[in-house]
Amino acid sequence: MSFTENIAKQFALIGNTNVAELRKNAFTAFEKLGIPSSRHEEWKYTNIKTKLNEQLSLTPVDSQVNTAVKNYISSLPPYSFRIIFLNGVFHSELSIVPQMKGLTVCSLKEAFTSNSSLVEKYFGKLVNYSEEHFAALNTAFVNDGAFVHIQKNVLIDEPIYIQYFFTASDVNAFAQTRSLVILEDGASIQLAEDFRNASNISVQYNHVSEVYVGKNASIDIVKLQLEVSNAIGVDTLEAQVERDGKFSAATITFSSPNTGTGKALIRNNVTARLIGENSHADLNGLYFGKETAHIDNHILVDHISPNCTSNQLYKGVLDDESTGVFNGKIFVKPDAQKTNAFQSSKALLLSNEASINSKPQLEIFADDVKCSHGAAVGQLDENALFYLRARGITKQEATQILTYAFAHEVIEHVHSKPIRQFLCDRLKDELKVNF
Amino acid sequence: MLSIKNLNVSIQGKQILRDFNLEIKAGEIHAIMGPNGTGKSTLASTLAGKEEYEVTSGEVIFNAKNLFDMSADERAREGIFLAFQYPVEIPGVSTTNFMKAAVNAKRKHQGLEPMDAKDFLKLMREKMALVEMNKEFSSRSVNEGFSGGEKKRNEIFQMAMLEPALCLLDETDSGLDIDALRIVANGVNKLRDANRSFLVITHYQRLLNYIVPDYVHVMYGGKIVKSGGKELALKLEEQGYDWIKEENSELV
Ligand SMILES: Nc1ncnc2c1ncn2[C@@H]1O[C@H](COP(=O)(O)OP(=O)(O)OP(=O)(O)O)[C@@H](O)[C@H]1O
Ligand SMILES: [Mg+2]
Predicted confidence band of residue A299 (pLDDT cuts 50, 70, 90): very high
Position A262 pLDDT exceeds 70: no
Q: Which of A387, A391, A400, A434 to mutate to test the interface with B (most CBs of B within 10 A)?
A: A391
Judged by average pLDDT, the poorest of A13-22, A318-327, B101-110 is A13-22
Which of B50, B70, B88, B99 to probe by mutation at the A interface, max A CB count within 10 Å? B88
Measured between beta carbons, the chain A residues lying within 8 angstroms of B71 are 389, 395
pLDDT tens track for A122-134: 999 999 999 999 9
Q: Would you call A295 exposed, middle or buried from its count of C-beta atoms within 10 A (0-12, 13-18, 19+)?
A: buried
Per residue in A173-202, is it b (16+ CB within 10 Å) or e — as a string? bbbbbbbbbbbbbbbbbbbbbbbbbbbebb
Q: Which of B16, B50, B82 to mutate to test the pocket of ligand 1 (most atoms within 8 A of CB)?
A: B16
Predicted confidence (pLDDT) at residue A256 exceeds the cutoff of 80:
no
What is the model's pTM?
A: 0.90
Report the distance separating Cα B4 and Cα B74, nearest Å.
18
Mean pLDDT across the stretch A60-66? 81
Determine the pLDDT at residue A353: 95
Rounded to an integer, the average pLDDT of A124-145 is 94
How far is it, in rounded angstroms, from Cα A162 to Cα B212?
A: 66
**pLDDT tier at A3 (50, 70, 90 boundaries)?**
confident
Checking if the pLDDT of B252 tops 70, the result is: no
CA–CA distances in Å: residue A362 to residues A179, A314, A332, B177: 29, 16, 8, 48
CB-CB neighbors (< 8 A) of A388 in chain B: 90, 98, 101-102
In which element (H, E) is residue A252 found? strand A246-254
Please state, in angstroms and rounded to a whole number, the distance separating the CA atoms of residues A340 and A309.
Answer: 5
Q: What is the DSSP letter of B67?
A: G
For B14, residues 6+ apart whose C-beta sits below 8 A from its C-beta are none
Read off the pLDDT of each residue in A128-149 and give the average, rounded to a whole number.
95
Angle at A285 between CA A226 and CA A88, to 5 degrees: 45
Q: Of the ligands numbered here, which is closest to the C-alpha atom of B32?
A: 1
Task: Answer yes or no: is pLDDT of B236 > 90.
Answer: no
Q: Which residues contact B78 (CB under 8 A, 6 or more apart)?
A: B62, B63, B65, B70, B109, B165
Residue B191 has pLDDT above 70, yes or no: yes
Confidence at residue A108, expressed as pLDDT on a 0 to 100 scale: 94
Q: How far apart are CA A213 and CA A309, in angstroms?
A: 15
CA distances from B82 to A137, B28, B73 (A): 61, 16, 11
Say which residue, A300 or A201, is predicted with more confidence: A300
How many Cβ atoms from other residues are within 10 Å of residue B60's Cβ?
A: 18
Contact A407, B91 (CB under 8 A): no
Q: Which of A344, A348, A383, A389 to mutate to test the interface with B (most CBs of B within 10 A)?
A: A389
CA distance A392 to B74: 6
Whether the predicted pLDDT of A260 surpasses 60: no
| Ligand 1 atom 25 nearest Cα | B36
Q: DSSP letter at A172?
A: T
A30, with CB counted inside 10 A (0-12, 13-18, 19+), is buried
Q: What is the dihedral of CA A256, A257, A260, A262, to 10 degrees?
A: 80
Query: In this predicted model, what pLDDT tens digit does every residue of B44-96 receive, in sequence order?
Result: 999 999 999 999 999 999 999 999 999 999 999 999 999 999 999 999 999 99
Which domain CATH number covers B74? 3.40.50.300
**More confident call, B231 vs A2:** B231
pLDDT at A257 over 70: no
Q: Is the CB of B121 under 6 A from ligand 1?
A: no
Could you write out the three-class secondary structure of B164-189?
A: CCEEEEECCCCCCCHHHHHHHHHHHH
Question: In chain B, which residues touch A (CB < 8 A)?
Answer: 48-51, 71-73, 76-77, 81-82, 84, 87-93, 96-98, 100-102, 105-106, 109, 141, 158, 162
Q: Does the distance separating the beta carbons of A387 and B49 come in below 8 Å? A: no
**Predicted pLDDT at A10:** 87
DSSP A402: H
Residue A259 has pLDDT above 60, yes or no: no
pLDDT of residue A261: 55
* pLDDT > 60? residue A303: yes
Q: Which residues of A228-259 are buried (b: 16+ CB within 10 A; e: fewer)?
A: bbbbbbbbbbbbbbbbbbbbbbbbbbbbbebe
* Percentage above 70 pLDDT, chain A: 97
The count of structural domains within chain B is 1
Is a pLDDT exceeding 90 seen at residue A435?
Answer: no
Q: Give the pLDDT of residue A12.
A: 81
The pLDDT-based confidence of A54 (bands split at 50, 70, 90) is confident
Nearest chain A residue to B164, by CA: A391
pLDDT of residue A424: 92
Q: What is the pLDDT of residue A258?
A: 54
Distance from CA of A162 to the nearest CA of B (A): 30
Query: Are B100 and A435 inside 8 Å of each other by CB?
Result: yes
The four Cα atoms A411, A415, A417, A420 give a dihedral, to 10 degrees, of -20
- The 8-class DSSP code of residue A159 comes to -
pLDDT for residue A15: 67
d(CA B141, CA B92): 6
CB environment B43-54: b (16+ within 10 A), e (fewer): bbbbbbbbeebe
Contacts with A399 from chain B: Cβ below 8 Å: none
pLDDT score of A61 more than 80: no
Question: What pLDDT was estimated at residue B174?
Answer: 87
Q: Report d(CA A1, CA A13) in Å as an integer.
A: 16
Q: Which domain holds residue B208?
A: 2-251
* Residue B114 Cβ < 6 Å to ligand 1: no
Q: Convert the pLDDT of each residue in B126-165 to its tens digit.
A: 999 988 999 899 999 999 999 988 999 999 999 999 999 9
Average pLDDT over residues A62-70: 87
The yes-or-no verdict on residue B1 having pLDDT over 80 is: yes
